[in-house]
Amino acid sequence: MKNKIISLLLGLGLILSADAGPPIWNLDQSPTSEILNGISAANNFYAMGVGENGSIIEFINGDSGSSMVSGTDKDLYDVFVASQQLALASGEDIVLLWDGSDWQPVVESATNTFFTGTWITPEKDFAFYQSLGFFNFICPHEIGAAVQGFCRGHSTPMLAMCGASDDIKLIMADGNILHYNNQLGEFEGIMDPLHEQISPLNLTGVYVPKTACLPGPFKPRDVFAINNTDEFFHFDGDQWVNMGVSVPNDQTLTWLNGSGSNNIVATGFKPDGMSGNEGVIWVYDGSTWAEDTNLPLGTPGLTDVAVNLGLVDGIFTNGFDAVNKNLNQSDVKVDILAAAESGKKISSGAIFPLLIADLSISKKLLNSEPIRKGDTIIFQLTMKNNGPSEQLMVYFNDNYVDTIQFITDTCDLQDEGGVGDWNIREAAVTNLAVGQTEICTVEFFVSGEVGEEIKNFAIINSETGDDPNTANNFNAVSGIIIQSSN
């Protein structure tokens, strides 16, 4: 979801895939000569790029792409692909929804309105888009609903969204972080914004790692951003910090994305000295940003980038439990797709020095129900490293509402405060070997009133590696209703 002015300048489709080693880039041509402004991938297999004059290119399994019939000649700026059957594209005076067979207009106008900021919830029940102007209106679109909700105006644009249905974090261009439900309303008892930036920033690109966007009314643990098109910023869960990277004055950074907090790629452009642009790529390894100067001669300027770290086809499709499945390095691959002038495509067979681990966490109540007010209850958390790499620093959180009060635990959980009626505790495991399992029990006192619900969840992530299977990084326990003690 790029700044509109930058996204008008360029476009490209770039695909990388995976073993460690220095990138070796190849430059070729996609089916269109139009400028591509945006690109998005649902997974390692399926992606789309959008651009000028209604151009939409469909990429399947790393191919050169094929043109889709968009039904419009309007310039398109942004796209979000949730699956082969669901995508949302936006542009000048138009928003389009893909249903797996054709593109249908969600919004059509003749007011020179620029739509961007597309996002679809992981549950695929709501899509969102944004119009840019004096006020920037973010609009919800319930998939399949005949009547839609109202748009909500903001003084600054929205740059990125993360989270889940009815639990959405919005990263705004000024650095504020908001928390909304599907209809863009605040949550009762939760202070909004989650983060208020006292000295406003001018963010032009944002990347939120999947496991960094914590469920509930909590700030994301990690957010990486481009500020003023030439600075790298990092939100560390508490505040925005300039990462202190010296970007040459002639470079314009356009967007960034990654496979995790330790492996990020940023795209951009600079003048080529012949009234055109040439591509710029920067790579972050968890500690340092460095420019990649190995792009092929003639690589045009780059505007947008999508990254997928995923499992090769069929890894979790044969009926076995993903929590207990150990991974090999060959089970995982990385694909990076970016967007350049003239519809060209750049690709590489190598990218980040991957340290991959599929971490999983599960949580269960050890007591038998019914649970009554005044009871002492115990939850068990089970953490496992399914491989293929040892992880040197693994963090896990136990989050719970005020209907229960913490007593003790077996894993040294530290109080990290709370928001509203939610509380968060965190602990770390060092040197979690492949196949290793850690078990933690947490004891609580049931303090809520009869009829109230006991809600809590656990989440796990690593500081030292990327996770190709984030579906098992989160586990919730809900639906436990407090009963009378009689």
Q: Distance between CA 259 and CA 354 in Å, rounded?
A: 9
Closest C-alpha to 295, from 307, 318, 277, 322:
277
* Helix and strand counts by DSSP (H, E) for the chain: 1, 38
User: Is the pLDDT at 39 greater than 80, yes or no?
Assistant: yes
Q: Distance between CA 75 and CA 53 in Å, rounded?
A: 5
Mean pLDDT of 404-410: 97
Q: Which residues neighbour 237 within 8 Å (Cβ) at sequence distance 6 or greater?
A: 219, 220, 221, 222
Which pLDDT does position 3 carry in this prediction?
A: 40
Q: Distance between CA 245 and CA 370 in Å, rounded?
A: 56
Pair of tokens at residue 179: 């928390």
Higher per-residue pLDDT: 268 or 15: 268
Closest C-alpha to 47, from 12, 19, 8:
12
CA angle 344, 104, 116 (to 5 degrees): 55
Q: Distance between CA 301 and CA 253 in Å, rounded?
A: 10
**Ordered DSSP codes for 376-425:** EEEEEEEEEEEEES-EEEEEEEEEEETTEEEEEESS-PEEEEEETTEEEE
Which pLDDT does position 315 carry in this prediction?
A: 34
Residue 75 gets which letter from DSSP?
Answer: -
Residue 367 CA to its chain's centroid (Å) = 36
Which pLDDT does position 23 carry in this prediction?
A: 56
Which pLDDT does position 333 carry in this prediction?
A: 57
Q: Which residues neighbour 399 within 8 Å (Cβ) at sequence distance 6 or greater?
A: 214, 215, 216, 218, 422, 423, 424, 425, 456, 457, 458, 459
Mean pLDDT of 209-238: 94
Higher per-residue pLDDT: 273 or 56: 56
Residue 362 class from Cβ within 10 Å (0-12 exposed, 13-18 middle, 19+ buried)? Answer: middle
CA angle 152, 157, 158 (to 5 degrees): 80
The end-to-end CA distance of the chain, in Å, is 56
164: amino acid identity, one letter: A
Q: Distance between CA 416 and CA 435 in Å, rounded?
A: 29
Counting residues of the chain whose pLDDT is more than 90, the rounded percentage is 64
User: Is the pLDDT at 350 greater than 70, yes or no?
Assistant: no
Which of 208-222, 369-383, 469-483: highest mean pLDDT? 369-383
Mapping DSSP to helix (H, G, I), strand (E, B) and coil, where does residue 315 land? coil
Pair of tokens at residue 259: 């496979």
Q: Distance between CA 219 and CA 7 in Å, rounded?
A: 28
**Which residue is it, tokens 């710029």?**
280
Using one digit for the tens of pLDDT, what is the confidence trace for 323-347?
334 555 555 556 666 666 688 777 6
Q: Distance between CA 321 and CA 66 in Å, rounded?
A: 36
Mean pLDDT of 272-293: 92
Residue 305's pLDDT band, with cuts at 50, 70 and 90, is confident
Residue 173 gets which letter from DSSP?
Answer: T
User: Is the pLDDT at 13 greater than 60, yes or no?
Assistant: no
Q: Distance between CA 411 and CA 381 in Å, rounded?
A: 10
HSE value, Cβ hemisphere, 13 Å, CA-based, for 469 = 28
Mean pLDDT of 413-426: 88
Which pLDDT does position 332 carry in this prediction?
A: 57
Using one digit for the tens of pLDDT, what is the confidence trace for 370-384?
999 999 999 999 999
User: Is the pLDDT at 313 greater than 70, yes or no?
Assistant: no
Pair of tokens at residue 319: 């009926």
User: Is the pLDDT at 148 greater than 60, yes or no?
Assistant: yes
Helix (H) or strand (E) holding 279: strand 277-284
User: Is the pLDDT at 320 greater than 70, yes or no?
Assistant: no
Domains and CATH numbers, the chain: 4-351 (2.130.10.10), 357-483 (2.60.40.1510)
Residue 35's pLDDT band, with cuts at 50, 70 and 90, is confident
Residue 471's pLDDT band, with cuts at 50, 70 and 90, is confident
192: amino acid identity, one letter: D
Average pLDDT of the chain? 86
